């Protein structure tokens, strides 16, 4: 079965949506283009479960693409939000919740000073501007396969090879905007050394996902982030660790809690989003005080936002972070470990070659891979055609997975034994469907 039947409410809403919005969606991956079929329009969520507009229930493994750390409609988050809404929704002035959230972030992360924004894209865009303003340099370094939002200068990706000057891949991004973006293979120290040897005195910053989650989950090799931090410092560039996805998810601080805190290094700047908004649009960038104080109104680098630090979004974020105690992270990590084991067993039983990779409780499956995937080229080599039937079989069994093989699966602290049982019931059939899948390129060759 692919998608929902043609008389379903989702089908009808999708037809109406396509009439009034490009592709019927407000963010492209939601459109199910990679897996086929009709996107499911959700009406409500509670804990680990989503309910669609037809009343079908699914265990949710997308978690709104990461934010729903505690599950949907957590009663205490809702109570805090309802209370805040009763006092008004936006003032365009400073307000207490944003101070409380900033204090919470400063208390958990290597950030001394933080500026709130409304999306992860805004956070990375602003961090790049700040780094350029602080250093007086123009070039930026990013890694192929890392996603930092739809910032013009960060949409560039490398082909294979070492130091490559990025070319715009999206119409609408002028070549001069990416001319200063250097794109390198992830996890490749030699490529980083070569880029800094050639351009070191012109590089404003290097930005990386703390652990890549946007080409599937590709963790940094041991010591890689520390190496990046040290390289940047040596060349007078800033190291920006993008923790929009990993922040407050893989530990109470983020991925830095796994490799930075124990090893004793700090990024100059970090970006956050997703979990820190508790399901509302809130994000942030922060870091060294001397760098952050280059921002207006203290310094000359301009950055602003009508809804930045919005009292409802910051209230939801604060409640989420305060509720995410050690027990919640332990539940989350345990559910993720159980799920990875279940998926691995089902795929192995069905004879589907695969590698499952994780960064803390975030994980994904690389279909057809036989060795660990360490970079974008490896991620792209996977057999995505096996994912399509797997995805639809799981959907029919009442499990909502990311509609793309290149995304992390997200569990929440609300994924209990009932939710895991539902997933376990769906897995053998879905694994068989993945095993039976035919490479469309081979089929075309045979025809």
Cα 354 to Cα 90, 188, 365, 371, 387, distances in angstroms? 48, 23, 7, 9, 11
Residue number, 125 or 393, with CB nearest to ligand PLP: 125
How far is 286 from 305, CA to CA, in rounded Å?
A: 16
Separation of alpha carbons 229 and 322, rounded Å: 29
**Measured between alpha carbons, how far is 355 from 65 in angstroms, rounded to an integer?**
21
Residues contacting ligand PLP: total by CB under 6 A: 16
| Residues between 221 and 260 that touch ligand PLP (CB under 6 A) | 242, 244-245
- Residue in 52, 60, 147, 259 annotated catalytic: 147
Q: Let me know: does 115 contact 304? Beta carbons within 8 Å.
A: no
Stretch that binds ligand PLP, among 33-41, 143-151, 320-328, 411-419 (CB under 6 A): 143-151
**CB under 6 A: which stretch of 119-127, 348-356, 376-384, 431-439 binds ligand PLP?**
119-127
Task: Quote the least distance from Cβ 345 to ligand PLP, whole Å.
Answer: 29
Identify which of residues 245 and 393 has a Cβ nearer to ligand PLP in the complex: 245
Least distance from ligand PLP to the Cβ atom of residue 43, Å: 23
Per the annotation, the verdict on 147 as an active-site residue is yes
Give the CA angle between residues 281, 300, 210 to the nearest 5°.
45
User: What's the CA gap between 218 and 205, in Å, rounded?
Assistant: 22
Residues 174-193 that bind ligand PLP (CB under 6 A): none
Choice among 52, 60, 242, 268 that is catalytic: 242
Name the active-site residue from 268, 274, 387, 400.
274
Figure out which of the listed residues 11, 188, 209, 268 binds ligand PLP, where binding follows CB under 6 A: 209
Cβ contact 254:225 at 8 Å: no
Minimum distance between the CB of residue 149 and ligand PLP, rounded to whole angstroms?
Answer: 3
- Identify residues 347-376 at the interface with ligand PLP (CB under 6 A): none
148 scored as a contact of ligand PLP (CB under 6 A): yes
CB of 419 to ligand PLP, least distance (A): 23
- Contact between 214 and ligand PLP (CB under 6 A)? yes
Site for ligand PLP in 399-438 (CB under 6 A): none
CA distance 326 to 14: 41
User: Is residue 120 involved in binding ligand PLP (CB under 6 A)?
Assistant: yes
CA atoms within 13 A on the CB side of 249: 35
Torsion of CA 317, 331, 224, 278, to 10 degrees: -10
Pick 115 or 148: Cβ nearer ligand PLP: 148
Nearest C-alpha neighbor of 220 from the set 263, 156, 167, 274: 263
Please give the radius of gyration of the chain, using alpha carbons only, rounded to the nearest integer: 22
Closest CA to 103 of 408, 409, 314, 417: 314
* Residue 8-47 contact track with ligand PLP, rule CB under 6 A, x = bound: ----------------------------------------
Residue 399 pairs in a beta bridge with: 59
**Contact positions vs ligand PLP (CB under 6 A):** 65, 119-121, 124, 147-149, 209, 213-214, 242, 244-245, 273, 283
Residues with catalytic roles: 147, 242, 274
């Amino acid at each position: 079965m692919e998608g929902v039947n043609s008389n379903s409410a989702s089908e009808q809403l999708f037809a109406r949506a396509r009439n009034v919005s490009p592709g019927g969606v407000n963010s492209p991956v939601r459109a199910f283009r990679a897996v086929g079929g009709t996107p499911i329009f959700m009406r409500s969520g509670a804990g680990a479960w989503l309910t669609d507009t037809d009343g079908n229930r699914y265990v949710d493994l997308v978690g709104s693409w990461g934010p729903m750390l505690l599950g949907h409609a957590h009663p205490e988050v809702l109570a805090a939000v309802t209370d805040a809404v009763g006092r008004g929704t936006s003032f365009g002035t400073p307000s207490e919740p944003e101070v409380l959230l900033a204090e919470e972030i400063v208390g958990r992360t290597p950030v001394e000073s933080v500026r709130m924004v409304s999306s992860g894209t805004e956070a990375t865009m602003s961090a790049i501007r700040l780094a350029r303003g602080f250093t007086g340099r123009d070039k930026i370094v990013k890694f192929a396969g890392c996603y930092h939002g739809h910032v013009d200068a960060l949409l560039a990706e490398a082909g294979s090879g070492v130091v490559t000057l990025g070319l715009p891949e999206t119409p609408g991004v002028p070549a001069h905007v990416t001319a200063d973006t250097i794109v390198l293979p992830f996890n490749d120290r030699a490529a980083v050394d070569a880029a800094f040897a050639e351009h070191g005195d012109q590089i404003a910053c290097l930005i990386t996902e703390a652990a890549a989650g946007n080409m599937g989950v590709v963790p940094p090799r041991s010591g890689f982030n520390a190496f990046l931090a040290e390289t940047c410092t040596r060349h007078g560039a800033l190291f920006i660790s993008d923790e929009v996805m990993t922040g407050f998810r893989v530990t109470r601080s983020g991925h830095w809690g796994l490799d930075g805190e124990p090893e004793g290094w700090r990024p100059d700047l970090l970006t956050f989003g997703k979990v820190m908004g508790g399901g509302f649009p809130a994000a942030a960038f922060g870091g060294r005080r001397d760098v952050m104080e280059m921002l207006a109104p203290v310094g000359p680098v301009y950055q602003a936002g009508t809804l930045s630090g919005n009292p409802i979004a910051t209230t939801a974020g604060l409640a989420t972070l305060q509720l995410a105690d050690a027990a919640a992270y332990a539940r989350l990590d345990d559910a993720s470990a159980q799920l990875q084991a279940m998926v691995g067993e089902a795929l192995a039983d069905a004879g589907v070659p695969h590698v499952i990779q994780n960064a803390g409780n975030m994980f994904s499956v690389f279909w057809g891979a036989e060795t660990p995937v360490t970079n974008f080229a490896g991620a792209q080599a996977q057999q995505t055609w096996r994912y399509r039937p797997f995805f639809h079989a799981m959907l029919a069994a009442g499990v909502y997975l990311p509609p793309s093989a290149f995304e992390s699966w997200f569990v929440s602290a609300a994924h209990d034994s009932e939710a895991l049982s539902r997933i376990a019931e769906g897995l053998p059939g879905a694994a068989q469907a993945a095993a039976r899948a035919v490479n469309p390129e081979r089929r075309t060759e045979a025809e």
